[in-house]
Amino acid sequence: MSDSIFDRAQTSARFLRQRLASEIDVAVVLGSGLGVFADTLTEPVIIPYEEIPDFARSTVEGHSGRLVAGKLPGSSINVAVMQGRFHYYEGYSLDEVTLPIRTFGAMGVKKLVLTNAAGGVNVEFKQGDLMLLTDHINLMMISPLRGKHDDRLGVRFPDMTEVYSREYRRIARECAAEIGIDLREGVYMSLQGPNYETPAEIRMMRILGADAVGMSTVPEAIVASQMGVKTLGISLITNAAAGIEDGPINHTDVMEMGRRVSGQFCELLTKVIARM
> What residues are annotated to the active site?
32, 63, 87, 89-90, 117, 215-216, 239, 251
Q: Which among 1, 16, 13, 30 is positioned nearest to 220, based on CA atoms?
A: 30
5 Cβ contact partners less than 8 Å away, ≥ 6 residues apart: 95, 99, 102, 150, 153
SS3 category, 93: coil
Measured over the CA atoms of residue 49, residue 59, residue 80 and residue 2, the dihedral's sign is negative
φ, ψ of residue 92 in degrees (nearest 5): -85, 150
SS3 category, 127: coil
CA distance 59 to 64: 9
Q: Which among 195, 189, 185, 237 is positioned nearest to 213, based on CA atoms?
A: 189
CA distance 88 to 68: 23
What's the half-sphere exposure (Cβ side, CA atoms, 13 Å) at 144? 31
